[in-house]
Amino acid sequence: MSYNTMKSDFLSILDRDEVQPGGPQAALADTFLQQGIGRIQRTARLPSMERAQLITPDTQAMLQFPVPPDLIQIMDVLVPELGDAEGRLCALKHVSYRELMRYNQFDLPRAFARSQTLIYVRGAVPIGVQLQFIYFGNFSPFATPDSDNELSASTPDLAVYAALKYAGDFFEHPLTQQWDQTYQAILAEVTQMGRDLDNEGGVNVVEQLYNWD
């Protein structure tokens, strides 16, 4: 669904002449939609927000890399287990920056930390080894009003009802609470869909509580 179609749905439900195209407060429609999208990005963690950045150092071992500009929350930092014939991935431990600086940078990659605009890893990622940075990111900007993005293509109604909550508060609309309840219900459904997607394919591996060796 394009941004314009999503906006049209929003205006149809809100049903106020002043924010319709050509109305005296027409610009508010875009304001409410952007506020709604901002709320989703702050509070929701949806499958459509998952991102993967693949980085392979080619000239020298890597000790750091820039934080992606759309980063919201880090999920995992993965590197191949060196010497593993099956190419299995190992998740690096997330530690504080102060603790990470005590790690040996010449060791195998074991941990990572974020400090300001950089992600640091210790030890260094060897040349030719691909690191996978998995994270939740902001939705892509709409290139044009007739284009879509991850949100409008997957759950446009979530954005519509998020925007209606802001519009309802602004106009003191009697349906504001109902619109917010609809938003919460859609959000719960989409969140559960994400959990179901993660759990497809059988029982997840459960780590043992104790090490016996």
- pLDDT band at residue 51 using 50, 70 and 90 as cut-offs: very high
Q: CA-based angle 161:166:170, to the nearest 5?
A: 135
Secondary structure percentages of the chain, helix, strand, coil, to 5: 40, 20, 40
Q: Where are the beta strands (DSSP E) in 25-117?
A: 50-55, 62-66, 71-80, 89-91, 93-94, 111-115
Residue ranges covered by each domain of the chain: 3-46+155-196, 51-136
Residue type at 11? L
Residues 6+ apart with CB under 8 A from 93: 110, 111, 112
Average pLDDT over residues 63-70: 96
Q: Write down the pLDDT at residue 207.
A: 53
pLDDT above 80 for 85: no
C-alpha closest to that of 65 among 147, 143, 132:
132
- pLDDT band at residue 67 using 50, 70 and 90 as cut-offs: very high
Cis peptide before 83 (omega within 30 of 0): no
User: Rounded to an integer, what is the distance from CA 48 to the centroid of its chain?
Assistant: 7
Name the phi and psi angles at 10, rounded to 5: -60, -50
Structure tokens at 9: 């749905």
Where helices occur in 1-127 by DSSP H, the ranges are: 3-14, 27-43, 97-100
- pLDDT band at residue 209 using 50, 70 and 90 as cut-offs: very low
- pLDDT band at residue 197 using 50, 70 and 90 as cut-offs: confident
**Strand, coil or helix: what is 123?**
strand
pLDDT above 90 for 38: yes
Q: Are 133 and 53 in contact (CB under 8 A)?
A: yes
